[in-house]
Amino acid sequence: MKMSRAGLLVAVAFGIPVAIELRVLFSFFGVELPLVSVVVFEALFLLLVAVLYSLNAEPKSASKH
């Protein structure tokens, strides 16, 4: 499956609530993750998405509209 730049943008956006709620999820099990863990998770997630995009990128669309 090819990934468009728009798909990349939406995937990145979806990573933010996942990262935020990760702390809540862990807190259910009594594990209190520090805030920095969100930053680290988000950075790793962005790296993963970037790698996937580079492997599956669609050709660029030249149109402005």
Tell me the C-alpha distance between 12 and 10, whole Å: 5
Note whether 21 binds another protein by CB under 8 A.
yes
Among 29, 30, 55, 65, binds another protein (CB under 8 A): 65
| Nearest-approach distance from CB 44 to another protein, in angstroms | 18
- Cα 18 to Cα 33, 40, 53, 63, 65, distances in angstroms: 14, 13, 19, 32, 31
Return residues touching another protein (CB under 8 A): 1, 3-7, 9-10, 13, 16-17, 20-21, 23-24, 27, 32, 35, 61, 64-65
